[in-house]
A and B are shown apart, each in its own frame.
Chain A
Amino acid sequence: GQQVMQIPQYQHVQEGEDFTTYCNSSTTLSNIQWYKQRPGGHPVFLIQLVKSGEVKKQKRLTFQFGEAKKNSSLHITATQTTDVGTYFCAGLNYGGSQGNLIFGKGTKLSVKP
């Protein structure tokens, strides 16, 4: 079945350093979503990418969707302690059920002040 692999599983950075998490799908995706889960909280939607090669920015966060729509990345510039949490990607399989959203296992980010 469809799999969405996400790396790294953990990332520890010094405040001010950059951070990147990567998602790779075994199949073509119709879209990719990114969520953030703070410790003890629930996932919160960050953004959605739909077009091949799409790049979107939210302040210090940059999201990319690969040309083949099989991979995506989230890059945070100059991390802050407020960025702490687990970042998940999630995608719908192209041509598959519109209800079956597949999540990556997440990247847990810790930021040392």
Chain B
Amino acid sequence: AQKVTQAQTEISVVEKEDVTLDCVYETRDTTYYLFWYKQPPSGELVFLIRRNSFDEQNEISGRYSWNFQKSTSSFNFTITASQVVDSAVYFCALGTSGAGSYQLTFGKGTKLSVIP
């Protein structure tokens, strides 16, 4: 069975601080995909990034960066120089294609509040 754990329920930071959101996953599949989504107060889930299990290269996109480590089954997300617009709930999700299943398993989310 697949499982995603986001241990941080809520985080508050002051604007311009860096913040890291943790994600730990469990799966027995050797091929899997990891995602981060942002859910602002408006409610729509916004896709941020996708990572394949065979590609551990970290990625940076502007103020966002992701650290994928298979050895610790973690896929952490760092926001540098946070802004008020970053305030949202962030979800980590795991997708596997074993037996043709294409569902995503989501963590419970981390609510990030950036205080001006």
Are chains A and B native binding partners rather than an unrelated pairing?
Answer: no
Chain B residues with CB under 8 Å of chain A are none
Chain A residues with CB under 8 Å of chain B are none
